[in-house]
Structure 1
Amino acid sequence: MSDVMLCLSGVEKTYNKGETGEVRVLAGVDLALARGEMVALVAPSGAGKSTLLHIAGLLDTADAGKVEIAGEDMTGLSDRRRTALRRQEVGFVYQFHHLLPEFTALENIVLPQLADGVARKTAEERARGLLDQVGVGARAGHRPSAMSGGEQQRVAFCRALANSPSVLLADEPTGNLDPGTADQVFGALEGLVRDTGLAALIATHNLELAAKMDRVLRLDQGRLVEAG
């Protein structure tokens, strides 16, 4: 079995900006992301990193090229199959936690598992285990409004990993936190990635955090290049 969990080959994306004409955001992106690997994605705002993450995570489709997740080609799949694979194989984390405010931390992690057919008791056990792993087990019964920003983001990490995905995609996951909290939260994320062996692609402006990852990739004129 291949260790490559996410593979992009020749991925292209162009947007029609009306009066300004077409803007080619991705111009043939190639990427291979291995099991247990953390890769930083750095790029200026508007360079296309969010577009790249959305295509990699099956939230958007490329104009050309191929996306493979856990060895399966995503090209030409039905919407139903893409949705199922996205729920099972991909975890998303954003700059803002997007937790459901009316539910507790535990419930926020249980819900995606229930949607995937997991029994409630099993889902709750996994949720508690994940919360303990990132150091917020004592906050399991609290709603997001009763937690700090760092605690909320740790819960968001746990929710992203609830269904044991193969790939984690994160878009500025510490961008809304102060530097000290960002370091702590990144440490929790790194622990989850290393312990579970999933593949993680993390977009960040924080070059200090990027330097802690296995590789740093830069999006330059629509292509990925290795950064020093």
Structure 2
Amino acid sequence: MNDVTLRLSSLNKTYLQGTPGELQVLRGADLELRAGEAVALVAPSGAGKSTLLHIAGLLDTPDAGGVEIAGRNASGKGDRTRTAIRRQDVGFVYQFHHLLPEFTALENIVLPQLANGTSEKAAQERSMQLLDRVGVAARADHRPAALSGGEQQRVAFCRALANAPRVLLADEPTGNLDPETSDQVFATLMALVRDEGLSALIATHNLELAARMDRVLRLDGGVLRPAE
């Protein structure tokens, strides 16, 4: 049985800029991410980690190479197909929570489910289950501004998992938190990854957190290599 949930094949990406004219951030990057696997992505700032995550999550397109998610080839597909794959099979977590400020924690998790065709009752039940698992169910009716940084990021995790994706992509998910809160929030994230049985590609500068994952990959010269 093929348990590869994310396959990146020979990705190339070049950006045009003033001087020297071109910046090639990906040069044939390859990756296979399997079900239930948590992989750390490390690299210096500006090396292309966010670009790789955006291409993997179908928010950007490579100049060359392929992206396959949950057995579906997204390469060359139109915006509608790419959006459907992303909505169904990919969850995103960023350094900043990006919760909608005018909605409660619960509503922030319900909304993506409604957009995916889930009934309101089922969406509310799923949302409360997720909030309970990350320890913030009691804050379900609070808006983001009334939550601590750690609580905000836990809610962001729940929103990313609202539609039960197969792949989770996270870009410095604890980067805005103090060390103690970062450790607690990371433990929560890993518990969700294991409990949901999904695959996670997590970009981080924190080498201690990276070492707690199944593998560590370094983006070096536009190519993914095992970290030494």
TM-score (norm 2): 0.99
Query: What is the percentage of aligned positions where both structures have the same residue?
Result: 74
Provide the rounded CA distance (Å) in 2 between the counterparts of 1:149 and 1:197.
Answer: 26
Q: Distance in 2 between matches of 1:75 and 1:151?
A: 36
Matched with 1:203 is 203
Amino acid of the structure 2 residue aligned with 1:90: V
Question: Which string of whole-angstrom CA distances, capped at 9 and with x for unpartnered residues, describes residues 26-81 of structure 1?
Answer: 00000000001000000000000000000000000001111000011111111111
Residue identity in the other structure for 2:58: L
In 2: Cα distance, 1:71 partner to 1:58 partner? 14
- 2:62 is the counterpart of 1:62: yes
Q: CA deviation at 1:20?
A: 1.9
The answer as to 2:15 corresponding to 1:34 is no
Task: Tell me which residue corresponds to 1:214.
Answer: 214
**In structure 2, distance between residues paired with 1:3 and 1:133:** 26
Question: What is the SS of the residue equivalent to 1:29?
Answer: strand
In the alignment, the residues of structure 2 paired with residue 145 and residue 169 of structure 1 have an alpha-carbon distance, to the nearest angstrom, of: 25
Q: How does 1:130-169 map to 2 (within 5 A)?
A: 130-169=130-169
Counterpart AA for 1:185 = V
What residue identity is the alignment partner of 1:208? Answer: E
Partner of 1:192: 192
Distance 1:30 1:193 in 2: 22
> 1:87, 1:20 → 2: CA distance?
37
Q: Which runs of structure 1 show a deviation greater than 6 angstroms over 4 or more consecutive aligned residues?
A: none
The aligned runs of 1:115-130 (5 Å cut-off) are: 115-130=115-130
Partners of 2:57 and 2:192 in 1: how far apart?
19
Question: How far does residue 18 in structure 1 lie from its aligned partner after superposition?
Answer: 2.5
Q: How many residues align?
A: 228
Secondary structure of 2:19's counterpart equals: helix
Give the distance between the partners of 1:215 and 1:29, measured in 2 at CA. 16
SS in 2 for 1:19: coil
Following the alignment from structure 2 to structure 1, what is the Cα–Cα distance between the partners of residues 44 and 196?
30
Aligned to 1:223: 223
Normalising by structure 1, we get a TM-score of: 0.99
Unaligned ranges ≥5, structure 2: none
Q: Distance in 1 between matches of 2:181 and 2:38?
A: 20
Shift in Å, 1:2:
1.5
RMSD of aligned alpha carbons? 0.7
Amino acid corresponding to residue 178 of structure 1 in structure 2: D
Deviation at 1:84, TM superposition (A): 1.0
- Unmatched tracts of structure 1, length 5 or more: none
Q: Which amino acid aligns with 1:22?
A: E
